[in-house]
Amino acid sequence: MKPNKGVEEIFRTRAREARVAAGFSLAGAAKHLGFNNYQTLSAIEKGTRKINANELISMARLYGRSLDYFFEPEISPDPTPLWRKSTEISVKQIQRQFLSFLENYSNLENLLGLERRWKDIQRNYDKADFSARGFELADRLGAEIWDSLDLGSRPASNMLSVLENDLRIKVLHLPLPQENGISGACVVDETLGVGILINANDAPWRRNFDLAHELFHIVTWNVFTHEEVGDGTVRTKPEQYADAFASSLLLPKSHLLDALEEVAINKPIKLIDVIELAKDFGVSTEAILWRLVNLRVLEKSKVEKAVNDPRLREIDRVKRRGLYYKDRPPKFPERYISLAWRCLMEGKISRGTFSEYLGIDRAGIDRYLKEQGFMESNYEEIAFA
């Protein structure tokens, strides 16, 4: 029987495209795949050397792709996330991890017939609205979303849960090196839904702010182009609007002023008061200070002096020392793990797929499920009279 040249050509194309999209050179990918030299991988991509099943599985895992991807005649292009970073750095490998998570998550939702709700928070503004009164609109929009999501007096404490469970936004926490400057990313896609990436190694108050910042981009996804938002390394106007939105969302005016009155009643506001407020609301001290400027409680010149005062940074560091690694988020959301378990129990995915989706060894699935509190007995039906 003659080999199917069409399938071979598709595989060669997909193998190279997947490697480039994942940010690997021939030499780098060959090393990760266990080949003695890059010529072996080059020969596979050119079709002069066959690939075996184990090698193909390793390639799919390294590039963050399903096995079907390598043989499908038609594929949709990857969506392009918006990035929040402070340095010029390639995000290809991290982006592929992020999109792979969204693909898996979306597949679980589709298998279980679950609807998505993220469109409920999108708003039909246009650039003209922001051109005329950008910061005022961003501030008002933050208050509007805070109210519609019922985030309460301390929004940072339950924002993640509301986004994941009520709006079904897919949030991935990756422990990224802090020197690469990446703090977050987001993407909106009709097929995959909405995803947010947060750096798990950042301080909890920074993660809170970044989550709210990315939410602004989701709410206004159809307002600004990627070029207008930028690559995260420049403080463009949409990025500044996102910060204003995050400040308004996380620090609701009435609750912040009430809390301030309690700690600074009949006396001048002290640095220690501001730090305690920041801890209470789960944001940075600088965020509190600038929010109080915007609310006309503090003078801009005094806040500029305070944020540049080394005493403030030192007091802040000491007061927050025990919070840096408190409640570090798991990589995968609990909802994602739960959906994967449900699909496994209902026979919609195999144990191999489950282990792939959760990034665990297949032999350790039972131990992993037990540690997470997911046992087969918990899936038995409950009969109601």
User: Tens of pLDDT along 223-246?
Assistant: 999 999 998 788 899 999 999 999
Indicate the CATH number of 5-70 among 3.30.420.40, 1.10.1520.10, 3.90.950.10, 1.10.260.40. Answer: 1.10.260.40
Residue 5 pLDDT > 90 = no
> For residue range 101-157, what is the model confidence (pLDDT) as tens digits?
999 999 999 999 998 888 888 888 888 999 889 999 999 999 999 999 999 999 999
**pLDDT given at position 188:** 96
Which of 206 and 89 is assigned the larger pLDDT? 206
Average pLDDT for 154-172: 96
If you search the block for the tokens 């399938």, which residue do you land on? 7
Beta-carbon contacts of 339 under 8 Å, excluding residues fewer than 6 positions away, are 105, 108, 109, 112, 114
User: What would the DSSP string read from start to end of 207-253?
Assistant: HHHHHHHHHHHHHTTTTS-HHHH-SSSS--HHHHHHHHHHHHHHS-H
Residue 158 pLDDT > 80 = yes
**pLDDT given at position 322:** 65
φ, ψ of residue 85 to 5 degrees: the values are -150, 160
Residue 165 pLDDT > 90 = yes
Of 60-64, 173-177, 264-268, the poorest mean pLDDT is in 264-268
pLDDT category at 385 given cuts 50, 70, 90 is very low
Indicate the CATH number of 82-250 among 1.10.10.2910, 3.60.21.10, 3.30.420.40, 3.30.70.260. Answer: 1.10.10.2910
Residue 64 pLDDT > 50 = yes
pLDDT category at 379 given cuts 50, 70, 90 is low
- Which class for 109: exposed (0-12), middle (13-18), buried (19 or more C-beta within 10 A)? buried
> For residue range 12-55, what is the model confidence (pLDDT) as tens digits?
999 999 999 988 999 999 999 999 999 999 999 999 999 999 99
Which of 384 and 107 is assigned the larger pLDDT? 107
With CA atoms as reference, report the closest residue to 15 among 35, 42, 39, 40: 42
Average pLDDT for 76-100: 90
Q: Go through the chain and tell me how many residues it has.
A: 385
Q: Which two tokens stand for residue 332?
A: 């995968």
